[in-house]
Amino acid sequence: MGHKCFISFKTQDAEYKKYIQENLEIDMIDKSLDEALDSDNEDYIMRKIREDYLSDTTVTIFLIGQYSAENNWLQNQTYIKRELQASLYNGQGNTKNGVLGIVLPTMTGSIYTGSGVCNVCGNTHTYVNIADNTTIKEFSYNYYIPNNKCSWNEDDRYCVLVKWEDFIAKPEKYIDKAFDKRTHPISSKTKVKP
């Protein structure tokens, strides 16, 4: 049984969303937040986004492209930030969504930067550059949840990350993985607004 997905993306990456929609058998809600909600009440805003945009979805797919960075000052990141915040929000009548980040081909080299020996533990770590220069804080914080260790394993992260080509080969596998994080112990450590 598939999980209903919401896709958060920058307009510049719409072709990837379209590809997912037309070529993969994914149950998705085709809406995106295109207007600012006028309120100072954070709880109200999160609830509205959940009700009007994320209703019934359990997994949010976040397309990480060249325009998704926290410190990309030329971009207005309000909508994708809100969509992820609402996805991570545990409110009345809804639980948070699993979050699946898909690294688009234009970003593979900037995010997967190789590996090296750690000067803390002496082991080899694979470097995955999920930071303000590649994505928004809502994703990076919940991918690298602070843990006082020199590295993160699968159980230390809430957000799931996958390369575009791996995702399109086995979409259900990664959607299920993100869905399962909702009931994983790490889900208690997420932050809506890091």
For 146-182, the pLDDT digits (tens) are: 999 989 999 999 999 999 999 999 999 999 999 999 9
Q: Which residues contact 73 (CB under 8 A, 6 or more apart)?
A: none
Supply the pLDDT for residue 36: 64
Under the banding of pLDDT at 50, 70 and 90, the label for residue 38 is confident
pLDDT, residue 39, reads 78
pLDDT tops 60 at residue 1: no
Q: pLDDT, tens digit, for every residue of 8-30?
A: 999 999 999 999 999 999 998 87
Task: Point out the least confidently predicted range of 47-51, 85-89, 125-129, 184-188.
Answer: 47-51
Note the Cα 88 to chain centre separation in Å: 9
Q: 64-120: per-residue pLDDT in tens?
A: 999 999 999 888 898 899 999 999 998 776 789 999 999 999 999 999 999 999 999
Q: Residue 136: its pLDDT value, please? A: 97
pLDDT of 181: 97
- Whether residue 95 contacts residue 150, with contact meaning beta carbons closer than 8 Å, is answered with no
Dihedral sign computed on CA atoms, order 26, 59, 47, 9: negative
| Strand stretches in 2-141, DSSP E | 5-8, 28-29, 59-64, 98-103, 112-117, 124-128
Query: In this predicted structure, what is the pLDDT of residue 137?
Result: 97
Start-to-end Cα distance in the chain = 33
- Give the pLDDT confidence score for residue 41 in this predicted structure: 82
> Which pLDDT score is estimated for 169?
97
